[in-house]
Structure 1
Amino acid sequence: MENVLGFKEKDLGFCKSYDTVYQLDENFFKVKKGSKWGFINKLGRDKTPIIYDHIYKFDEEFYKVKKRGKLGLINSEMKEITPIIYDEITSFNNGFAAVQKGDKWGFINKTGKEAIRLIYDFVEKFNWESGFAKVIKDGKWQLVDKTGKELPPSNGICWDYVFFEGMSKVSKELFCGVELEFKKGFINREGKVVIPLIYDWVDRFQDGLAKVQNHGKWGFINNEGKEVVPLIYNNVHMFSEGLCLVEKNAKFGFIDTTGKVVIPLIYDAGNNFEGGLARVYRDDHNSMIHIDKTGTEVTICVGLNAKNKRLSHKKYF
């Protein structure tokens, strides 16, 4: 009689040697004898000694084993890739797993090698986009890359640690006038502040520009920190198809990447360009219009009801 993985009952006589047998796949079994666990193959031969207190499925490639209160990893070939010395092992993320020994943390790679030394008080997982992990050392947050290279201690700066176009947002509590305020700027991948922390809010860089805000007014800076769009708008969108929807004094229009107004701020609401057209509203939201990038009104729909009036402004800006 075949079992679900194709083994015949007569082939499983070795199971009688163990108190508990769990089939892991077509080649390996997890077995228990007395209070200890180990691995055997489909021929009943030991692949590991029966010495572990617990065996846990870790992920598709590894098993986590526990012995005398310590943890280690075994790969899918039933080979120990780490010594059983850790107090905690987190799941792999971007090729690295955080490990703890005593009160210190570091990272191992998928070969089991300690790729980043266990010298940190706390670590977070590696960010897939930036290639950095946030860590705490000597009470200070900083970043570490996959080679173990550290960016300088934050010195009170809060990291975003996601990099876009080589820049990451940072913020710091500063004394401004008579009160403490959080001011924001940008660092590069070396941890150097390249755009001063002078803004109330900053957004990520996209196509060489980032939107920034001070005292309730928005504009754009380039990656050198130059304000290419002055901070004069009540609100700005991100650029789409080379144009950006902006609001000033409750009227909407579009600017280009130099800050030039290319479609006058005469509309009550609007949305971004898509496929060469943008939808805008005027006449107290009573008219919906499609415009092209020159501002030419391509289609006009009038007589929108009161419900659509309320939704239009909320939905599109």
Structure 2
Amino acid sequence: MSINNPYKIVGIVAIIVFISGSCQGQDSTKAAKIATEETILPISQLQGKYNAAEDIWENPDTAYEQFIRFDGENLAIFYRTDAGGELGTVGIVDKIGKVIVQPNYFSTSTKPRTGFFEVQDSQQRVGLINVSGVEVVPPQYETIFLDDSLLAIDSTMIKVAKDGKQGFIDRNGKIVVPLKYQLLDIAGKNRIMYMESPQHWGLMDYNGRIITAPVFTHSGIFVEGKTVLQQGDGEAYILYEDGRIDKKYH
């Protein structure tokens, strides 16, 4: 079969080039996707060895920082590197090369607090990695309050803040108290002081059930089932865990 029309020939060539280009584009996209997926695959162990004299991990794998310093600590921050050798995101490794925190974050600390490492993403949002290396809270909060004083009252509850509001999560990252209050304080087991407006504090439980209206000028912690607070009249009152209020007489 012969084709005498030159426009048909040009059209056929264009179609072939378009199909070829589309296939190459799909292959390039697929390759880029695979490459991206490969860069974020979790790793459990760094190559190399620990140099005790220098207190460093010597790593021959150029995909990661090659000389990782411990500076007298048991854990060290190490960097992922790009194709040009520039340092990028960070993780945590121990002295046998075991990766404790994956190198997917923009900052972290090598000292866990109350069983967690705090990590940050590129937008400085905070998340939590437990000591087993599991990301229980992806970076999403402005602040996570790992205060010993709060956790001493109830270690199962962690206060968090985002968009100017506070709430509580459990140790698995599940939201227990929604983030809709300006300020919250743990007052006791299943008891939270909430601030509705400045100097207007009330009492509720973990389910958000209001126990006491916001009539107090500050928050307090229950000791033996009660705490002493002031109201707007300047007088002191005894607040009980069940919501009873008695005026405190001197």
Q: Could you say which TM-score interval applies, normalised by the shorter chain?
A: 0.5 to 0.7
TM-score of the superposed pair, with normalisation by structure 1: 0.50
Instruction: Name the counterpart of 1:97.
Output: 76
Give secondary structure in 2 for the equivalent of 1:107.
strand
| Greater relative contact order (CA < 8 Å, ≥ 6 in sequence) | 2
Q: Structure 1 residues 115, 244: CA separation in 2 closer, same or farther (over 3 Å shift)?
A: same
Deviation at 1:137, TM superposition (A): 3.3
Give unpaired runs (5+ residues) of structure 2: 1-48, 60-64, 81-86
Deviation at 1:186, TM superposition (A): 0.9
Deviation at 1:141, TM superposition (A): 2.8
What is the total number of aligned residue pairs between the two structures? 184
**Is the CA contact 2:225–2:241 (under 8 Å) kept in the aligned structure 1?**
yes
1:239 pairs with 2:225: no
The separation in 1 between residues aligned to 2:145 and 2:71, in whole angstroms, is 22
Instruction: Name the counterpart of 2:165.
Output: 183
1:260 pairs with 2:244: yes
Instruction: Name the counterpart of 2:158.
Output: 168
**Is the CA contact 2:92–2:110 (under 8 Å) kept in the aligned structure 1?**
no
Amino acid at match of 1:250: G
**Is the CA contact 1:236–1:247 (under 8 Å) kept in the aligned structure 2?**
no
**Is the CA contact 2:186–2:221 (under 8 Å) kept in the aligned structure 1?**
no
Instruction: Name the counterpart of 2:132.
Output: 147
**Is the CA contact 2:119–2:126 (under 8 Å) kept in the aligned structure 1?**
yes
Q: Structure 1 residues 186, 91: CA separation in 2 closer, same or farther (over 3 Å shift)?
A: farther
Give unpaired runs (5+ residues) of structure 1: 1-71, 174-181, 267-279, 281-317
Instruction: Name the counterpart of 2:98.
Output: 113
1:133 pairs with 2:121: no
**Is the CA contact 1:245–1:253 (under 8 Å) kept in the aligned structure 2?**
yes
Over the matched positions of the two proteins, sequence identity in percent amounts to 20
Amino acid at match of 1:137: D
1:29-58 superposed Cα distances (whole Å, 9 cap, x missing partner): xxxxxxxxxxxxxxxxxxxxxxxxxxxxxx
The structure carrying a bigger helix percent of its residues is 2
1:96-144 superposed Cα distances (whole Å, 9 cap, x missing partner): 3322342221111243322222222211234332x11121235443221
Q: What does 1:12-51 align with in structure 2 at a 5 Å threshold?
A: none
Specify which of 143, 154, 177 is matched with residue 195 of structure 1.
177
Specify which of 122, 126, 148 is matched with residue 107 of structure 2.
122
The separation in 2 between residues aligned to 1:196 and 1:115, in whole angstroms, is 30
Deviation at 1:73, TM superposition (A): 4.5
1:223 pairs with 2:213: no
Amino acid at match of 1:105: V
1:82 pairs with 2:82: no
Deviation at 1:250, TM superposition (A): 0.3
Deviation at 1:253, TM superposition (A): 2.1
Q: In angstroms, what is the RMSD of aligned CA positions?
A: 3.1
1:257-285 superposed Cα distances (whole Å, 9 cap, x missing partner): 11112x4245xxxxxxxxxxxxx5xxxxx
TM-score of the superposed pair, with normalisation by structure 2: 0.61
Q: Structure 1 residues 241, 110: CA separation in 2 closer, same or farther (over 3 Å shift)?
A: farther
The separation in 2 between residues aligned to 1:134 and 1:143, in whole angstroms, is 5
